[in-house]
């Protein structure tokens, strides 16, 4: 199986975390803006990464669908519970992580534009509010527990961990750790796992 992506994409890291946790062998195919048209578009008409090319030849996207595919493909360790309520809770955590990552991607991409072409201060504040509100709910729902959902590691922890890691990398000035000490502890615990260490992107040069 092949995963198409770039180390800078938080969604690609999320999928790599799942592959590592489930110990699924894969070939990581690096894409770039220059190769995207030729490599990604034939697999995903939306032209977005990550895309997974499964061994049976099917292309799977986007990251929530890839994660579901991988969790169904290899039974253990199960990252998305079967039970309905538990499943919805874990997927809600995933949506929170993805939403925080979405707002962070928007801000960090806009930062790279020349100043005159950047979005307004109100737009930036709106994105930051989504991040802050998402963090507040993550913190409240985590409470004093070790795992984001239930008594073991699930996709909920991957979702929180990849989003918090991406915040550190893309928006270090947001300094979320002080206001959310239990999320800070969670992020520190997760960062020590092999899967997180192995997929940590190199700092920007």
Ligand X SMILES: N[C@@H](CCC(=O)N[C@@H](CS)C(=O)NCC(=O)O)C(=O)O
- Name residues whose C-beta falls within 8 Å of residue 128's C-beta, 6 or more positions apart in sequence: 103, 107, 174
Closer CB to ligand X, residue 192 or residue 202?
202
With tokens 């992580």, the residue in question is 97
62 binds ligand X (CB under 6 A): yes
Closer CB to ligand X, residue 17 or residue 180?
17
- The beta strands (E) that lie in the chain are given as 2-5, 27-30, 51-53, 59-60
Give one DSSP letter per residue of 21-41, joined into a string: HTT---EEEE--HHHHHHHTT
- Which position among 7, 42, 47, 72 is part of the footprint of ligand X (CB under 6 A)? 47
105 binds ligand X (CB under 6 A): yes
With tokens 């507040």, the residue in question is 136
* Shortest CB 144 distance to ligand X, Å: 30
* Shortest CB 182 distance to ligand X, Å: 26
Contact range with ligand X by CB under 6 A, out of 19-27, 47-55, 88-96, 153-161: 47-55
Contact range with ligand X by CB under 6 A, out of 21-29, 43-51, 120-128, 195-203: 43-51
How many CB atoms are located within 10 Å of the residue 125 CB?
10
By CB neighbour count within 10 A (0-12 exposed, 13-18 middle, 19+ buried), where does 120 fall? exposed
How many CB atoms are located within 10 Å of the residue 63 CB?
27
Closer CB to ligand X, residue 165 or residue 180?
165
Q: Are strands 27-30 and 51-53 parallel, antiparallel or unpaired?
A: unpaired
CA distance 74 to 19: 10
Contact range with ligand X by CB under 6 A, out of 41-49, 148-156, 159-167, 185-193: 41-49
97 binds ligand X (CB under 6 A): no
With tokens 């110990």, the residue in question is 23
* Shortest CB 103 distance to ligand X, Å: 12
CA distance 191 to 122: 33
Contact range with ligand X by CB under 6 A, out of 19-27, 48-56, 138-146, 186-194: 48-56
Closer CB to ligand X, residue 162 or residue 176?
162
* Shortest CB 34 distance to ligand X, Å: 13
Residues in 7-36 that interact with ligand X by CB under 6 A: 9, 11
Residues that bind ligand X (CB under 6 A): 9, 11, 47-50, 62-63, 98, 105
């Amino acid at each position: 199986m092949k995963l198409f992506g770039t180390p800078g994409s938080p969604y690609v890291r999320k999928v790599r975390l799942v592959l590592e946790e489930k110990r699924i062998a894969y070939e990581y195919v690096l894409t770039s803006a220059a190769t995207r048209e030729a490599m990604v578009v034939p697999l995903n008409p939306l032209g977005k990464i990550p895309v997974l090319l499964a061994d049976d030849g099917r292309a799977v996207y986007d990251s929530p669908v890839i994660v579901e595919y991988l969790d169904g493909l290899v039974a253990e360790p199960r990252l998305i519970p079967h039970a309905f309520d538990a499943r919805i809770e874990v997927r809600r955590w995933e949506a929170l992580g993805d939403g925080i990552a979405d707002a962070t991607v928007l801000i960090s991409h806009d930062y790279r534009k020349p100043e005159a072409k950047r979005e307004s201060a109100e737009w930036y504040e709106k994105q930051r509010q989504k991040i802050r509100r998402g963090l507040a709910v993550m913190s409240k729902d985590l409470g004093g527990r070790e795992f984001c959902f239930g008594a073991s590691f699930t996709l909920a922890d991957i979702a929180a961990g990849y989003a918090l890691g991406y915040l550190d990398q893309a928006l270090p000035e947001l300094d979320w750790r002080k206001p959310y000490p239990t999320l800070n502890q969670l992020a520190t615990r997760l960062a020590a796992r092999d899967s997180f260490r192995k997929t940590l992107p190199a700092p920007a040069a």
